[in-house]
């Protein structure tokens, strides 16, 4: 981080942090099924979403519990997209089980941030992946109030500007 963060102008609209919607009927059922069948089990079923960031220099991932030979260039965006959907769902439901899963996911993701601030892979679409992870960390910070994700996002933004 190079210095204090300043807003030059106030945003036209911000989502209130304590605002929650509760859906019933088939929409509420669909949200619940999405959490139970995708958002809660996904990090355990696909540890590669975060694990790949620990193997930036070895994109073949042949020495782990999984093997990915030449992952797709946009693989770095999956963690961010997962988190964005999880935060949106948490804002709807406040599901404690999902909150615990996302807390752990964020901790694991932050632990992979490189010393230069990188939150992605050295692949062709790295900036796109960085964008998704940074946006997700910003949304998590807004939801949770945790400072760590915002600091990680700032370090990654500094790297993007330096590149």
Please tell me the predicted confidence (pLDDT) of residue 1: 46
| Predicted confidence (pLDDT) at residue 60 exceeds the cutoff of 60 | no
Mean pLDDT to the nearest integer, 56-83: 67
* Closest residue by Cα to residue 70 from 123, 112, 120: 123
Q: What is the mean pLDDT of the chain?
A: 83
Between the two ends of the chain, the Cα-to-Cα distance in Å is: 15
Quote the radius of gyration of the chain (alpha carbons, Å).
17
**Higher-pLDDT residue of 4, 90:** 90
Predicted TM-score (pTM) of this structure: 0.81
In the chain, where the domains are located = 25-162
Provide the 10 A C-beta neighbour count for residue 105: 22
State what percent of residues in the chain have pLDDT above 70.
75
Q: What is the pLDDT of residue 75?
A: 79
Q: State pLDDT tens for residues 71-106.
A: 677 778 899 999 999 999 999 899 999 999 999 999
pLDDT for res 61 = 42
Nearest to 15 by CA among 102, 88, 75: 88
Q: Do the Cβ atoms of 94 and 20 come closer than 8 Å?
A: yes
CA 52, CA 47: separation in Å to the nearest integer?
Answer: 8
Of 126 and 112, which is predicted with more confidence? 112
Q: Which two structure tokens, joined as six digits, stand for 128?
A: 């796109």
């Amino acid at each position: 981080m190079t210095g204090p963060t300043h807003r030059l102008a106030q945003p036209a609209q911000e989502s209130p942090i304590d605002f929650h919607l509760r859906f019933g009927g088939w929409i509420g059922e669909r949200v619940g099924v999405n959490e139970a069948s995708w958002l809660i089990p996904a990090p355990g079923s696909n540890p590669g979403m975060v694990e790949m960031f620990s193997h930036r220099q070895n994109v073949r991932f042949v020495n782990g519990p999984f093997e990915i030979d030449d992952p797709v260039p946009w693989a770095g965006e999956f963690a961010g997209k997962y988190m964005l959907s999880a935060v949106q769902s948490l804002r709807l439901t406040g599901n404690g089980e999902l909150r615990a899963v996302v807390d752990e996911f964020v901790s694991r993701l932050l632990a992979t941030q490189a010393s230069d601030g990188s939150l992605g892979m050295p692949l062709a679409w790295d900036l796109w992946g960085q964008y998704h992870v940074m946006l997700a960390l910003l949304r998590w910070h807004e939801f949770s109030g945790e400072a760590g994700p915002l600091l990680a996002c700032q370090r990654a933004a500094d790297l993007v500007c330096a590149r």
